[in-house]
Amino acid sequence: MPASVFAVHSSDGYTMTKPTRVSIVVVAGLGVENDVHSGATVKHRSRMKANPDQPNLRQVHLIHNELFDELRDKGFEVHPGMMGENITTSSIDLLGQPTGTLLHIGDDVVLEITGLRNPCAQLDGLIPGLMSATLDRDDDGELVRKAGVMTVVIEGGVVRPNDEIRIELPAGERLPLEPV
């Protein structure tokens, strides 16, 4: 099955859950139009406290739909949009992509993966224990963050459910994703 968009979400207010939309518009260098996290500089409240002038490497948040299946198997009733993502994907290994991977969505949109979403305690406000359920350990004991990836918008346009996603790996050395 080809990689695709499962659902799209946005919110103009600081809420964890983002309502599902028929489509979203992404704007180059900014993020999702009319979304609270859109902007050239960081818009996440904790990051604005630290340095409001830092570049926004978290313009568009993507989570793989398969994570919701995994969480349901652990007893958490979580659905697309609940964890604050803008785009829920299907049939793509988001977490396995290197930093700088380009995601071509539909005919026009290009997003660049900047890093991992670091799950926060706000997830426990949705469902107690959800934050730790989005974390794991690999065979070497290293922390694995499963709450999706963050991207910046290289080319804007409209994103809709069922849009195909094509992966373009970065040239040169492929660096693993780190939290941003």
Q: What are the backbone angles phi and psi of residue 41, rounded to the nearest 5°?
A: -105, 160
Closest of 61, 65, 164 to residue 109, by C-alpha: 164
Tell me the pLDDT tens digit for each residue of 138-178: 999 999 999 999 999 999 999 999 999 999 999 999 999 99
Instruction: State which H helix or E strand residue 131 sits in.
Output: helix 130-133
**Maximal C-alpha separation, the chain:** 42
In the chain, the domains with their CATH numbers are: 4-168 (2.40.33.20)
- Predicted local confidence at residue 49, as pLDDT: 80
Tell me the pLDDT tens digit for each residue of 25-44: 999 999 999 999 999 998 87
Contact, 103 vs 166, CB < 8 A?
Answer: yes
Tell me the pLDDT tens digit for each residue of 59-115: 999 999 999 999 999 999 999 999 999 999 999 999 999 999 999 999 999 999 999
**Cβ-based burial of 35 (10 A; exposed 0-12, middle 13-18, buried ≥19):** buried
Contact, 105 vs 165, CB < 8 A?
Answer: yes
Per-residue pLDDT at 50 exceeds 90: no
Q: Sort strands 87-90 and 60-64 into parallel, antiparallel or unpaired.
A: parallel
Statement: the pTM of the whole predicted model exceeds 0.75: yes
Instruction: State which H helix or E strand residue 124 sits in.
Output: helix 122-126
- Which residues have C-beta within 8 Å of that of residue 160, sequence separation ≥ 6? 5, 8, 22, 23, 106
Contact, 4 vs 165, CB < 8 A?
Answer: yes
Closest of 7, 135, 148 to residue 79, by C-alpha: 7
